[in-house]
Amino acid sequence: MTATPDLLAQLPVTAMKGVGAALAEKLLRLNIRTVQDLVFHLPRQYEDRSRITPIGALRPGLSAQVDGEVQLADIVIGRRRSLVVRVQDGTGTLTLRFYHFNNSQKEKLARGTRLRIFGEARLGASGLEMYHPEYAYLSDQLPPPSDTLTPIYPVTEGVTQLRLRPLIAQALTRLTPQNLPDWLPPSENRGWSLIAALRYVHAPPNDADRSALVAGTHPSQQRLAFEELVAHQLSMQKRRAEMRANAAPALPAAVSLQKKFLASLPFPLTGAQQRVLGEIAADVTTDKPMLRLVQGDVGAGKTVVAALAACHALAADKQVALMAPTEILAEQHALNFSRWFEPLSIRVVTLLGRLGVKARREANAEISSGSAQIVIGTHALFQEEVVFRKLALVIIDEQHRFGVHQRLALKQKGENGLLVPHQLIMTATPIPRTLAMSAYGDLDTSVIDELPPGRTPIQTVLVANDRRPEIVERIRAQCLQGRQAYWVCTLIEESEQLQAQAAEATYAELQLALPELRIGLVHGRQKPAEKAAVMQAFKNGDLQLLVATTVIEVGVDVPRATLMVIENPERLGLAQLHQLRGRVGRGAEQSFCVLLYQTPLGQLGRERLGIMRETTDGFRIAEKDLELRGPGEVLGTRQTGEMSFRLADLLRDAALLPAVQNCARQLLQSDPQAAEALLTRWVAGREHYARV
Q: Beta strand 93-98 with 114-120: parallel, antiparallel or unpaired? A: unpaired
In percent, the amount of the chain with pLDDT more than 70 equals 89
What pLDDT, in 10s, does the model give residues 161-202? 889 999 999 999 999 998 999 999 888 888 899 999 999 999
Q: Quote the pLDDT of residue 501.
A: 74
- Average pLDDT over every residue of 104-128: 90
The residue ranges of every structural domain in the chain are 51-145, 255-448, 459-615
678 touches 37 (CB < 8 A): no
Residue 174 per-residue DSSP state: T
Kindly report the number of other CB atoms within 10 A of residue 211's CB atom: 9
Q: Quote the pLDDT of residue 553.
A: 58
Instruction: Give the pLDDT band (50/70/90) at residue 640.
Output: very low
- Average pLDDT over every residue of 472-479: 96
Extended strands (E) in 541-587: 545-548, 561-567
Confirm whether pTM is higher than 0.75. no
Q: Transcribe 332-393 into DSSP letters.
A: HHHHHHHHHHGGGT--EEEE-TT--HHHHHHHHHHHHHT---EEEESGGGGSTT---SSEEE
83 touches 75 (CB < 8 A): yes
Kindly report the number of other CB atoms within 10 A of residue 50's CB atom: 15
The mean pLDDT value of the chain amounts to 86
Instruction: Give the pLDDT band (50/70/90) at residue 51.
Output: confident
Residue 300 per-residue DSSP state: S
Tell me the Ramachandran region of residue 534: left when phi exceeds 0, alpha when psi lies from -120 to 50, beta otherwise.
Answer: alpha
Instruction: Give the pLDDT band (50/70/90) at residue 403.
Output: low
Distance between CA atoms of 325 and 378, rounded to whole angstroms? 6
Q: Quote the pLDDT of residue 245.
A: 86
Three-state DSSP class for residue 45: strand
Distances from the Cα of 428 to the Cα of 270, 352, 425, 459, 539, angstroms? 17, 22, 10, 20, 21
Q: Quote the pLDDT of residue 500.
A: 66
Q: Which residues pair with 151 in a beta bridge?
A: 46
The pLDDT of residue 558 is above 60: yes
Instruction: Give the pLDDT band (50/70/90) at residue 638.
Output: very low
Query: For the chain, how many helices (H) and strands (E)?
Result: 24, 22
Give the closest residue to 172 by CA, choosing from 210, 200, 212, 205: 200
Choice among 190-194, 446-450, 496-500, 639-643 with the minimum mean pLDDT: 639-643
Three-state DSSP class for residue 83: strand
Choice among 419-423, 441-445, 479-483 with the minimum mean pLDDT: 441-445
With helix as H, strand as E and coil as C, how does 457-474 read?
CCEEEEEEHHHHHHHHHH
425 touches 223 (CB < 8 A): no
Instruction: Give, in degrees to the nearest 5, the angle at Cα 131 between 127 and 135.
Output: 110
- Average pLDDT over every residue of 89-118: 92
17 class by beta-carbon count within 10 Å (0-12 exposed, 13-18 middle, 19+ buried): exposed
Distance between CA atoms of 667 and 661, rounded to whole angstroms? 10
The pLDDT of residue 492 is above 60: no
Q: Do domains 255-448 and 459-615 have the same CATH topology?
A: yes
The span from the first CA to the last CA of the chain, in angstroms, equals 27
Kindly report the number of other CB atoms within 10 A of residue 99's CB atom: 10
Residues in the chain: 692
Which of 207-211, 339-343, 583-587, 605-609 has the highest average model confidence (pLDDT)?
A: 339-343
Q: Which residues pair with 128 in a beta bridge?
A: 123
Q: Quote the pLDDT of residue 110.
A: 93
Distance between CA atoms of 587 and 266, rounded to whole angstroms? 13
575 touches 621 (CB < 8 A): yes
| Topology classification of domain 255-448 | Rossmann fold (3.40.50)
What pLDDT, in 10s, does the model give residues 253-299? 899 999 999 999 888 999 999 999 999 999 999 999 998 999 887 77
Choice among 365-374, 397-406, 580-589 with the minimum mean pLDDT: 397-406
Helix (H) or strand (E) holding 667: helix 657-670
Domain 459-615: homologous superfamily in CATH? P-loop containing nucleotide triphosphate hydrolases (3.40.50.300)
Distance between CA atoms of 393 and 251, rounded to whole angstroms? 10
Choice among 56-65, 576-585, 679-688 with the minimum mean pLDDT: 679-688
Helix (H) or strand (E) holding 98: strand 93-98
Main-chain phi, psi angles of 159, to 5 degrees:
-130, 95
- Average pLDDT over every residue of 457-470: 92
| Topology classification of domain 51-145 | OB fold (Dihydrolipoamide Acetyltransferase, E2P) (2.40.50)
The pLDDT of residue 136 is above 80: yes
Main-chain phi, psi angles of 387, to 5 degrees:
-120, 115
What pLDDT, in 10s, does the model give residues 302-348? 899 999 999 999 999 999 999 988 777 888 889 889 999 999 999 99
The pLDDT of residue 433 is above 70: no
Distance between CA atoms of 466 and 469, rounded to whole angstroms? 8
Give the closest residue to 13 by CA, choosing from 136, 134, 159: 159
Distance between CA atoms of 282 and 280, rounded to whole angstroms? 5
Three-state DSSP class for residue 64: strand
Distance between CA atoms of 311 and 600, rounded to whole angstroms? 53
